[in-house]
Amino acid sequence: MLQKSLNDETRTESLKKAVGLLENAQSILILAHKSPDGDTVGSSFALCRALLKLGKKARVVCSDTIPAKFSYFTNGLDFENSEPDLIVASDVASVNLLGDKLSCYADKIGLCIDHHPSNSVNAGYSFVDPSAAATCEITAELVYLLKVDIDKNIANCIYTGIATDTGCFRYSNTTPKTLRTAADMIEKGADSAVINKKLFETVSHERLEFEKLALQTLELHFDGKVALIVLTKEMSQKTGVDEADTEGIPSIPARIEGVEAGITVKEKDDGVYKISLRTGSTLNASDICANFGGGGHAAAAGCTIEGTLDEVKQKILQAVKDELDKQRMKGKEEWTA
Amino acid sequence: MLQKSLNDETRTESLKKAVGLLENAQSILILAHKSPDGDTVGSSFALCRALLKLGKKARVVCSDTIPAKFSYFTNGLDFENSEPDLIVASDVASVNLLGDKLSCYADKIGLCIDHHPSNSVNAGYSFVDPSAAATCEITAELVYLLKVDIDKNIANCIYTGIATDTGCFRYSNTTPKTLRTAADMIEKGADSAVINKKLFETVSHERLEFEKLALQTLELHFDGKVALIVLTKEMSQKTGVDEADTEGIPSIPARIEGVEAGITVKEKDDGVYKISLRTGSTLNASDICANFGGGGHAAAAGCTIEGTLDEVKQKILQAVKDELDKQRMKGKEEWTA
């Protein structure tokens, strides 16, 4: 059962049902998604810590290692192995995202807590609220309803998840409720300044070197309306950058003033390139990528194109140009109508 | 009279005194500081719009042109010239910051509203609250107390000032109150997502090209503890970047993981270089810059050094190294004590 657009009353009832499941369980296993980010890890550990404070057994598992930058989540935690009577998936939009190690739990999830509109997990009970900027925003409500006093550790977990999924309150998913939940967490002791610095202000030297090489490939096309960068395997090897550490690079070309489409062409295998496309309000990235069997959202989409680098660049540039021309024609028609 | 650390009651009384001055005036002239940023312009226009809604005459003046990115502040405003009976300085920390065109008002300021702890304006009445992340945080309170209904335009002004001075809620000056004021402004209609994109996600092509050249000069020293970049006049000429558009570049070297001191050496005139130094928690930037007659804050300071580029680099690197060695010795002494 998904709660996609509920009125406040129904929403509270649904949340209370989730709380009831947690209250009735004695040993809870919480699943975070693979390639863990601040929201899945933050929401999992916040819930885990709250349940431990209620005297229950609880632990968090993840297919992949929790990144070192989130080490503060586990401060002072020492998990005990026990047979769970409730399995909770936190911020897991699909069972495919459980990863190899946790795939065995795919059909055993008793409670699913998430904010992704595409959530497809088949759980005993699901609370999915796409109006929440982060799963942690929902977790904060759950912890309040569980009547657990939020301590510094829980506050750090929840703050981290919210900051992660909103780009530190920059993205359009940030609502008044998001900001107020973050304010509450700072009041409960969250080290917001330290977390912000670690997550948003610190880059590895390898990442910076990789970015430098990426910027050297920057091309502007069609009167500066389209910007394109290329990321090659050679750049990764040369700089020694970690794959996870290249996050956010595809948003660079789209950030340039006047650019309506930012294209990142990333070399995968010989003759295979992954395209990331970011667009402004005039172009639909998903439609353009659909030409190559890809897809995504209106403002951010992707696809795979085969060929030499030059061929691939020409193909995606032509597809973007066609769409720009279409938009211009549409504008002209409206003008002359 | 400066309100540097007041209890809530005294603070409210002081704010009400400021409100009284505004209520008693019929024609108000509001001064923003030179090189205007989002906070001085936002707080000035928010107050101006509130006063206009109360049927008063009010206008904003600034020594420099308001940057185009803030054009939404003046939406629908049409100033009438009139002799002011109250002159308000908003976010102006010192009369030197009024700029040439407004210096004539230096000894005529009736009310000073600010959040800079260093405020030295000699006004009829001053309300200075350094606990506020932005002057706009104070302006929001003033507008509430003036019983003006905050509309979308006022909300956009206040949101912009707060977002500007907190780096969109990243900096350590962000408090729960800051986040809650921003939440209120979004509820009142502030276009937060549009403003964030414009202020924090958009860069000019010239700036990106300048950044690329700056990154090419990046050097790491002393086991990666010190990072240094060089900005030359040639780079500015080559890229055509605007001076105002190079803001934030000195924070790049300090962002690198493991770096304790980030140095930016910027060419001013022949044989004269401006140093910007950013440090982590172990080093005091102000102390290091004091060696060259400069100063600033513990984490961000500056100075000017003369010589060839190589000489200047050696001088500042040596000064940082001396401080690093001192800290290491101190650490050793503590260790063996």
3-state secondary structure chain A: CCCCCCCHHHHHHHHHHHHHHHHHCCEEEEECCCCCCHHHHHHHHHHHHHHHHCCCEEEEECCCCCCHHHHHHHCCCCCCCCCCCEEEEECCCCHHHHCHHHHHHCCCCCEEEECCCCCCCCCCEEEECCCCCCHHHHHHHHHHHCCCCCCHHHHHHHHHHHHHHCCCCCCCCCCHHHHHHHHHHHHCCCCHHHHHHHHHHCECHHHHHHHHHHHHCCEEECCCCEEEEEECHHHHHHHCCCHHHHCCHHHCHHHECCCCEEEEEEECCCCEEEEEEEECCCCCHHHHHHCCCCEECCCEEEEEEECCHHHHHHHHHHHHHHHHHHHHHHHHHHHHC
Q: What per-residue confidence (pLDDT) applies to A334? A: 59
Q: Residue B293 burial by CB count (10 A; 0-12/13-18/19+): exposed, middle or buried?
A: exposed
Which A residues in the span 13-52 are in contact with B, Cβ-Cβ below 8 Å? none
A177/B183 touch (CB, cutoff 8 Å), yes or no:
yes
Sheet holding B219-221, edge to edge: B219-221, B226-231, B261-269, B272-279, B300-306, B295-296
Q: Give me the residues paired with residue B61 across strands.
A: B31
Q: What is the pLDDT of residue B1?
A: 43
Q: Kindly state the DSSP code that residue B197 receives in the 8-state scheme.
A: I
Q: Name the residue among A179, A203, A256 with its Cβ closest to that of B205.
A: A256
Q: Which two tokens stand for residue A335?
A: 């003008």
Tell me if chain B has a CB within 8 Å of the CB of A248. no
Q: In Å, how far are A142, B41, B97, B116, B128 from B121, measured between CA atoms?
A: 49, 18, 10, 11, 10
CA nearest to B278, candidates B315, B227, B234: B227
pLDDT digits (tens, 9 = 90+) for A252-263: 999 999 999 999
Instruction: Give the gap in angstroms from C-alpha B213 to the nearest C-alpha of chain A.
Output: 9
Q: What span, in angstroms and rounded, lies between the C-alpha atoms of A255 and A260?
A: 9
Whether ipTM > 0.90 holds is no
Average pLDDT over residues A76-104: 91
Q: How far apart are CA A205 and CA A237, in angstroms?
A: 14
Q: What is the pLDDT of residue B208?
A: 94
Overall average pLDDT of the A164-176 stretch:
94
Element (H, E) at B88: strand B86-90
pLDDT at residue A254, as a whole number: 94
pLDDT score at A337: 45
Q: Is B90 helix (H, G, I), strand (E, B) or coil?
A: strand
Does B205 sit within 8 Å of A220, measured CB to CB?
A: yes
In contact, B292 and B275? CB cutoff 8 Å: yes
Stretch A79-99: mean pLDDT: 92
Residues A91/A67, Cβ–Cβ less than 8 Å: no
Nearest residue of A to residue B227 by CA position? A205
Token code pair at residue B86: 């109250």
- The residue assigned the tokens 């986040």 is B179
Tell me whether residues B169 and A171 touch, CB distance under 8 A. no
User: Residues near A194 by Cβ (< 8 Å), separated by ≥ 6?
Assistant: none
Residue A279 pLDDT > 50, yes or no? yes
DSSP string computed for B262-330: EEEEEEEETTEEEEEEEE-TTS-HHHHHHTTT-EE-SSEEEEEEES-HHHHHHHHHHHHHHHHHHHHHH
Is the Cβ of A176 closer than 8 Å to some Cβ of chain B?
Answer: yes
Map A255-282 to HEC letters: HECCCCEEEEEEECCCCEEEEEEEECCC
pLDDT at A1: 43
Question: For the segment A218-239, what is each residue's pLDDT rounded down to a tens digit?
Answer: 999 999 999 999 999 999 999 9
A1-12 pLDDT, tens per residue?
A: 444 456 788 899
* Greatest alpha-carbon span in chain B: 72
Q: How far apart are alpha carbons B215 and B223 in whole angstroms?
A: 19
Return per-residue pLDDT of chain B as tens, 337 residues: 444 456 788 899 999 999 999 999 999 999 999 999 999 999 999 999 999 999 999 999 999 999 888 999 988 787 777 789 999 999 999 999 999 999 999 999 999 999 998 899 999 999 999 999 999 999 999 999 999 999 999 999 999 999 999 999 999 899 999 999 999 999 999 999 999 999 998 999 999 999 999 999 999 999 999 999 999 999 999 999 988 788 889 999 999 999 999 999 999 988 999 999 999 888 999 999 999 999 888 888 999 999 999 999 999 999 999 999 998 888 766 555 4
Q: What is the pTM of this model?
A: 0.89
Q: Mark which residues 211-240 of A lie under 8 Å from B by CB.
A: 211-212, 215-216, 218, 220, 224
**Res A78 pLDDT > 80:** no
Q: What pLDDT does B334 receive?
A: 59
Of A184, A196, A216, the CB nearest to B170: A196
pLDDT of residue B8: 80
Of A34-38, A177-181, A299-303, where does the model show the most confidence? A177-181
Q: What is the pLDDT of residue A6?
A: 62
Report the range out of A80-89, A170-179, B77-86 with the highest average pLDDT.
A170-179
